[in-house]
Structure 1
């Protein structure tokens, strides 16, 4: 059915035609009427952020947790440049979302906020779609959504402001995306891969973020081979509950698991690009056969050259390998019969001492792991403190685990925690951040979480310094004072922004903070005061 409307209404309606009911953003000259139409004409929900980049980050986490394309919107010029880090984070993380970005009027090339927006977007690794004319609105929006899904990255739809009040005929246009994955075709490479697996005495199965949907098939294959299971950081929690799950593979492994990986003779990798931190810069992959399976051709061979590479769906490939192992009556390896899984998954605690007025970070994390809500979504910022969080704080499954470290930035966690909370409103969100990251990106959106009434627990590790840099000065016996900051009370800031805030300087304070979580009524911040000279080093 065709309807006559203004372009701003057509954009809103075309977005709603794709099943979108939530839009994150910040309004400006080029998008305010579209947002108004999305809310009033399409019964949509608009989530206003305090900063444009925040709206993109919220959408990224929403897409990850909800499992669908998310949408954000900003206006032109500086609004878009404020999104550069967030778009890069999304592109590096292969997260499908659409950013409806206004642009300055085509008729005014000397507009104060004019910029070549295509080139800005191109630099981030995101895709770009130009709104061509009033009559192409529905097709252009459909193209942006289609590309977001098949390219698995953010796509920016560029909307000139001078189109908005022009007349348009709108007819729903939705491009169906073929998402059925391909299986592995019979051939020499498959035969070679199966031969390597069949002859392995100590095989291990590694799953990354691209293999999350194949959980059941990978477990069947592991059980058939009697091989332990491990995940990359992105797939943390995938094999929770399995008796031979050794958890994260690589520099974040326990010492015992690291040694076990080094002793294995064949690693079957599903849905992982084998990042340097996963392989410990290749050290963990030496003197063993590597089989890499991924639906994305560019993921293969990026970190190291595998002995066999299969461009195919992880689940179907696991089923195929299992079938031929059974047909050939290959005996199980017996590898898991040798394992003491409790030893393999126990991270050392180290000393429980710390200076007066500070809490021991590792001991605090262990206690929080026991006390925090079990059905949580776990969101982590970047920075020095996060590697211990990744190792010691569990996530129920990969979909409920949001890592904001695709670009190595800090200051992105609180924004993504908001998106995660809105995607799964019945699930409490726990977000960990360092002090520098919270100052950079958390303060300006904590009140957004308050306004939305989210069930959010924020734990800020405050060592009054930029810790990674602080360590480098100390290692070279140099004065680290340039890295040190006298921050305000984060707990006090949380209260001033409408939430709850609790300061923790010792184990008694920590127990009181944990007890207070039982009666929390909105966003709550726990500030852990840490000694900058006594914080565990990053494990990467």
Structure 2
């Protein structure tokens, strides 16, 4: 068989059933073979968007995301997306290929030198006989490292002959990481001496399916529970759930965390946003449990670090504390439960909606109430993002993702399209983007149209670059320099083959709910807001 046919077969042999791509000389042969063999192919408009789709697919689907792009400028187009995925620690395979071995080929560029600064891994296929194994190895490496890997399959190899074969490199079963006894003892010593402990879960704890064990541990030590942004709503419905801590925490949670003397974090990196720029953990003992030793003390100093799975470590901790006769702390109380139960997000701010614009905070709270709960939520990044991060909820933490790890606006729409492709018949996807970011990524709305994906893109439209509006004002410069006139987003949505809706009032928002109920997908919603309303910056 030809190498291109072997690549298509190898992808499917390694469990890849969905491929995101953009055709070119370096990939069109194996992509078409992949489709002929029954694989699902979602073709994008731009390589930046294609890689983001694979990123969103991997984050929401908790599986390897695979993108295929051609050589040269296709790779340079995708560098921002690669960086975003690498900083998000997303397992992805991006297949490209070196240009033909022709002197001064117009599209030639040094691939390893391009990939290195993004934080992604790089692997080259050196000869045709190894291509089947190389695909399998690349997928294994990406999953093990939790990083995107760029597989360089030189275009000159594609039509070479190769023997039909199965890869010798099968998938490696997931293995539990057992905590070291001495490290566990040190952590238990810190926890046992705490009078006001808090248990925190991050995305690693969610992936480790540790909810039951964390609840049992929290009960045994008398600790309220909290999450990072990427584990949002993991404990929702529990009486002592503080919700997301850090820069988007609500005031009740901030007050309780401020009173605590110890935080026990499972599968959470404790970065500057979770730590509220460091202030959240000042004066507290910190215990950190993770399967990646590199996160220990990376931003927040730790008093005890335990390398191990969240579920196993939490169970061992609870069992050993129980065996030692440890009594729960008295931090939890009826007063704390009442304060958490009585929290009303509408009390966080003064609603400044008018007859022609909505306060984005009030809009997000109402959207959360109106829209079906079984949804995926993906956000772009920008000034607006504090509102959806605070007020939009999900049934499952793995149903939430953001495109904020590199601080680049314009990545959320394509990422949301990849997320929508995970379970398109059973779950719809809500993407929230600012107007500037939406304009950068709106070309991929046509991909959602072509593939009939259940996507709702809400554009928070203040007619400006919102963060710059605030920052110019802080420098004493007229903020109106940040204003920009956009086309009518609802009309753009319709022109691109989808549906469009303009929202200025709560009544308009109610009609959006009706359109979703009627499966009018993909739907582009132009949410009009006032640029002078400052809802708070996160950066």
Same fold (TM over 0.5): yes
5 Å-filtered alignment, 1:188-337, equals: 189-212=183-206, 213=208, 214-337=210-333
Q: 1:47 aligns with which of 30, 34, 42?
A: 42
- Counterpart Cα distance in 2 of 1:437 and 1:373: 25
Of residues 108, 126, 132, the one that matches 1:114 is 108
> In the alignment, which residue of structure 2 is the partner of 1:481?
480
Deviation at 1:344, TM superposition (A): 5.3
Residues of 2 paired with 1:535 and 1:511: CA distance?
25
| Range that drifts further, 508-517 or 491-500 | 508-517
Distance in 2, Cα, partners of 1:327 & 1:139: 50
Contact 1:256 1:344 in 2 (8 A): yes
Quote how far apart the aligned CAs of 1:239 are.
1.3
1:30 aligns with 2:29: no
Structure 2: runs of 5 or more not aligned: none
Gaps of at least 5 residues in structure 1 are none
Question: Is contact 1:138-1:170 (8 Å) kept?
Answer: no
What is the alpha-carbon distance in structure 2 between the residues aligned to residue 109 and residue 39 of structure 1?
33
Partners of 1:305 and 1:353 in 2: CA distance? 40
Q: CA deviation at 1:319?
A: 1.0
Counterpart residue number, 1:456: 455
Pairing 1:84–2:79 present: yes
- SS of 1:351 mapped into structure 2: coil
Instruction: Tell me the residue number matched to 1:432.
Output: 432
How far apart are 1:102 and its partner, in Å?
2.1
The question of 1:444 aligning with 2:443 is answered yes
CA distance in 1, matches of 2:10, 2:181: 43
Whole-angstrom distance in 2 between the partners of 1:254 and 1:326: 33
Judge conservation of contact 2:432–2:459 (CA < 8 Å) in 1.
yes
Offset at residue 356 of structure 1 (A) = 4.7
Residue 457 of structure 1: CA displacement? 1.4
- Return the alpha-carbon distance in structure 2 between the equivalents of residues 352 and 97 of structure 1: 42
When the two chains are superposed, the root-mean-square deviation of aligned CA atoms in Å is 1.4
Distance of aligned partners of 1:148 and 1:209 in 2 relative to their CA distance in 1, 3 Å threshold? same
- Structure 2 vs 1, CA of residues 285 and 349 (structure 1 numbering), >3 Å: closer, same or farther? closer
- Structure 1 Cα separation of the partners of residues 145 and 516 of structure 2: 41
The CA distance in 1 between the partners of 2:219 and 2:60, in whole Å, is 29
Residue aligning to 1:509: 508
Deviation at 1:413, TM superposition (A): 1.1
The answer for the alignment partner of 2:55 in structure 1 is 60
Equivalent-residue separation in structure 1 for 2:363 and 2:40 (angstroms): 38
Are the structure 2 counterparts of residues 487 and 373 from structure 1 closer, same or farther at C-alpha, using a change threshold of 3 Å? Answer: same
Provide the residue aligned with 2:152 in structure 1.
158
Question: Distance between the aligned counterparts of 2:510 and 2:17, measured in 1?
Answer: 40
Distance of 2:353 and 2:218 partners within structure 1: 43
1:45 Cα shift?
Answer: 1.2
What is the deviation of 1:520? 3.4
Cα pair 2:370 2:510 within 8 Å, conserved: no
- Matches of 1:345 and 1:538 in 2, distance apart? 21
- SS of the residue aligned with 1:410? coil
Match of 2:95 in 1: 100
SS at match of 1:275: coil
Partner of 1:71: 66
CA contact (8 A) 1:129 1:143 kept: no
How many residues of Structure 1 are paired with residues of Structure 2 in the alignment?
Answer: 532
Q: Is the CA contact (8 Å cut-off) linking 2:204 and 2:266 kept in structure 1?
A: yes
